[in-house]
Amino acid sequence: MLSAGRRLIPLGEGAGRRLPPSTYGRLAAAVQMRPAGCAVLALLIAVLGGFFGLPSWGAEGPVRIVALGDSLTAGFGLPAEAAFPVRLEKALNDKGLAVEIANAGVSGDTMSGGLDRLDWSVPEGTEAVILELGANDMLRGLDPQVTNKALAEILRRLSDRHIDVLLCGMLAAPNLGADYAASFNRIYPDAAAARHLLLYPFFLEGVAGHPDLIQRDGLHPTAAGVDVIVAGILPKAEELVAQVRSHRS
């Protein structure tokens, strides 16, 4: 499922640690006009938005989300515009939901690596995190207790900061053995149940086991594969946005 031949290879191995581009701090042009002109422009935007089916986002501002993950989040082997955070942001925007999703995916990262960089990967002002880590822990055969401990600390620190979380699960490759799989596979549902988190049980649902949706390395999704992931996780992402909105009020 996630192995290359008989050798297990960490996702994104050999690609180096790519610093994630941030979608925060986007520059906007300042336009000065008289109050009457502003009112006319606002009315025109509202009319055209309704006519063309554009999203009506209101004055609350977009929900600021960080996708914290490994190469599956970073978009290894894909153009930047095909990466999971970009495609999910577009899918949510297309549904009229104002979100900005920062790509904090680092190829080859483990759960412990995500913990080490948590503070700078999830900056102040972040309202929600889509947490996709652990595939490399599994591929390296790391002790599931180590992964579980790092995950628990990530979740504790995000909770202390009042950041909502959508936890993306991972499943162990069958060739790691039944005992390892049983221990690893329960990490995510147990953590989600303990903290009452939103859970997407298997990030690669609908992609793993489908060669036409996997790159030639046998590990990473193609652009079409990313779109399958986005379609699957979209309802949970919508719940995440609604959760953030409810906490704002």
Torsion of CA 216, 219, 223, 227, to 10 degrees: 150
Distance CA 212, CA 224 (A): 9
- Residue 5 pLDDT > 90: no
- Residue 21 pLDDT > 70: no
Where exactly are the structural domains of the chain?
31-56, 61-248
Task: Write down the pLDDT at residue 219.
Answer: 94
Report the alpha-carbon angle 117-119-125, nearest 5: 140
- Residue 40 pLDDT > 90: no
User: Could you tell me which residue, 40 or 153, shows the higher pLDDT?
Assistant: 153
Task: Write down the pLDDT at residue 7.
Answer: 37
User: Pick the catalytic residue: 116, 119, 190, 217?
Assistant: 217
- Residue 222 pLDDT > 90: yes
User: Could you tell me which residue, 35 or 221, shows the higher pLDDT?
Assistant: 221
Cβ contact 163:127 at 8 Å: yes
Task: Write down the pLDDT at residue 249.
Answer: 73
Task: Write down the pLDDT at residue 92.
Answer: 98
Closest-CA residue to 153 (of 182, 127, 116):
116
Arithmetic mean of pLDDT, 23-27: 30
Compute the mean pLDDT over every residue in the chain, rounded to the nearest whole number: 83
Tens of pLDDT along 156-210?
999 999 999 999 999 999 999 999 999 999 999 999 999 999 999 999 999 999 9
Task: Write down the pLDDT at residue 12.
Answer: 62
Phi, psi of 203 (to 5 degrees): -60, -35
Burial class (CB in 10 A: 0-12, 13-18, 19+), 49: middle
CATH number of 61-248: 3.40.50.1110
Distance CA 127, CA 161 (A): 9
Structure token pair of residue 12:
């994104």
Tens of pLDDT along 66-107?
999 999 999 999 999 999 999 999 999 999 999 999 999 999
Tens of pLDDT along 47-58?
334 333 444 444
Known catalytic residue: 71?
A: yes
Tens of pLDDT along 115-134?
999 999 999 999 999 999 99
Known catalytic residue: 217?
A: yes
User: Could you tell me which residue, 44 or 190, shows the higher pLDDT?
Assistant: 190
Known catalytic residue: 159?
A: no
Closest-CA residue to 173 (of 149, 140, 130, 151):
140
Question: Amino acid letter at 245?
Answer: R
Arithmetic mean of pLDDT, 216-227: 97
User: Pick the catalytic residue: 137, 164, 220, 227?
Assistant: 220
Measured over the CA atoms of residue 47, residue 49, residue 52 and residue 53, the dihedral's sign is negative
User: Pick the catalytic residue: 71, 107, 112, 121?
Assistant: 71
